[in-house]
Amino acid sequence: MPLITSQAVIEGEFYERSYPAEENLQLKIGAQVMFIKNDKEKVKRFYNGKIGTVTKIDKETISIQCINEPLPIELQQETWKNIRYNFNKQTNQIDEEEIGSFTQFPLRLAWAITIHKSQGLTFDKAVIDAGAAFAPGQVYVALSRCTNLEGIVLLSKINNRHQANERIIDFLSSITNKNLNDNLLSSKRVYQQKLLAELFSFNDIIKSSETVIKTVSEHEASFNKEAMNWLQSIKENIDSIKETLEKFQHQLHQFLKQQNIPEENESLQKRLQAASKYFADNLQLVANNLYQSNAITDSKQYANEYNELLKDLFNLINQKINLLYSLKDGFSINNYYHFKRNYQAKPFNVNAYAGVTHKQIDSPRPELYKELRLLRDEISKQNNMPIYLIAGSATLDEMARFLPQTNEELLLITGFGKAKTERFGKQFLDVINEYALNNNLSSLTHEIKPKHGRREKKKDEIQTSKPDTKFLTYELYKSGKTLKEIAAERNLTTQTIEGHLAHFVEKRMIDINELVSREKFILIEPVLRSSEFTTLTPIKEQLGNDISYGEIKLVMAAIASEKNNE
């Protein structure tokens, strides 16, 4: 079988003496290898020091079969980062700067290793050649790598000159076998009690479900109506399980007060078998329901966030079910860790992003809704913009429902302001008007309820409302403090303070000339008015180092103030 070489990808600064793995890793099928890094995935498929055999080598993955495991581990390359740490005087914090990276498979050939390099590793079996060891510590490191005495084979005799420490001998002599047995029994009981308490704690699942609901609730306008109802039904199921769990936890606590070890407590064992089946079955129903997710959103960002959170919840539930199954025939440490070690994550696919294929079924005029959606998708492609920035599902639904036929009526639709109406309004109105004409329909915008929260607050209203972070900055500024003084007092950067004050420049509560000199304003204003950039970085590069980001934001606010009052 030919050797296959995997060459590490090294970028930026990464000194050769600090390479975490072989720069040129040579492997072939059948090679015995050792993992040199812990698995970053939640299932923890491997750990630093785990041994396996290479069964397959591809360009992007290596398959490694470990002893007593049903399936091989599909290993991909890992990236180690070289981080430089700098103290940021402005924020009073330590900033991280990635100056280089090293990408390679986290493997090393594992036919042999020096005693020195074996520190921190754990083996089931090891052939040890410590005859030439020059310090007792070396021998100790070598002998303590194995998990049991049966796994140790001494290749050479250990030199007699390595005498045991007298203090250790005195200590061991003072310990009776009875004390050791008592301590062992007590430690076993405490450890098993701890495992059972953790096993029958569903806090991670409950917290994860609450996070999903909170995320959708915060962006409820971006999701379909059915999403929150479905999530509430999931929460009700979990709450029902939680209620029963709390009662069982009280019973379990009483059992664990007993002096005998849980493994040897027959009455506890029977109770654990019944409880584990009940909770595993009910959690399985929740996991099955997660496959039925009906959440839909036009926002790719919110969809990705929702997808990841729901996957986390699904994985937590299935990990718990797997451990509960370990109690099917009673509780034992060996059985518990056998199930934990051999857990295989179940596939779970969810995608809440509507994209350009989602069909709206609630619209009273589905044909018109479909035309408007197709137009929205086409505009999105032409302008290279996310579809939710053009028109979300709620906006399309209102247009199809109320049939606005003028720019003034279009402004009454949720999500359509003056700028969007000027830019895209005609295209949508052409479709709506043609549909209304062909079907002898007229505008129904008089049925739209007035929008809430759109009225611009007056100055005295802002001052009497509950202070927020911007308003605290505004008050300090009006008291006569400079921007640097405000930044120091609030422990914020000057740039952040400028961003706060830009809000009040746009509200015409602060004159731009108080914050930006006339000379700089003349430099910045024409660049902003003629720029097509959507981010500040290219504008800043064009204006040079004499102009700060904060000054650009302030002038942008002044221009926005003019447009708002046109």
Q: Where are the domains of the chain?
A: 4-109, 126-174, 190-341, 366-447, 459-564
230 and 295 Cβ atoms separated by less than 8 Å:
yes
C-beta contacts of 556-563 below 8 A and 24+ residues apart: 556/502, 556/528, 557/502, 557/503, 557/505, 557/506, 557/512, 558/505, 558/506, 558/512, 558/521, 558/525, 559/525, 559/528, 559/529, 560/506, 561/505, 561/506, 561/507, 561/508
User: Can you tell me the distance from the alpha carbon of 545 to that of 551, in angstroms, rounded to the nearest whole number?
Assistant: 12
If one counts every other C-beta atom within 10 angstroms of the C-beta of residue 107, the result is 25
366-447 against 459-564: fold identical: no
Q: What architecture (CATH level 2) is domain 366-447?
A: Orthogonal Bundle (1.10)
Q: What architecture (CATH level 2) is domain 459-564?
A: Orthogonal Bundle (1.10)
SS3 200: coil
Residue for token digits 């109320």?
402
Residue-level pLDDT, tens digit, the chain, 566 residues: 688 999 999 999 998 888 999 999 999 999 999 999 998 887 788 888 888 999 999 888 999 999 888 889 999 999 999 998 888 777 777 888 899 999 999 999 988 888 887 777 777 788 888 887 777 778 888 888 888 888 889 888 887 766 666 777 777 677 666 667 777 888 888 899 899 999 999 999 999 999 999 999 888 878 887 888 889 989 999 999 999 999 998 888 888 888 788 888 888 999 999 999 999 999 999 998 898 888 888 777 888 899 999 999 999 999 999 999 999 888 999 999 999 888 888 888 888 876 544 444 457 888 888 888 889 878 878 887 766 678 877 788 889 989 999 999 999 998 788 888 999 999 999 999 888 888 878 888 888 876 544 444 444 443 444 457 888 888 888 877 888 888 888 888 787 888 888 888 888 888 887 888 877 887 888 788 777 666 677 787 778 778 887 888 888 888 888 776 65
**Domain 190-341 CATH (choose: 1.10.1040.10, 1.20.120.230, 2.60.120.10, 3.90.1150.10):** 1.20.120.230
User: Can you tell me the distance from the alpha carbon of 92 to that of 94, in angstroms, rounded to the nearest whole number?
Assistant: 7
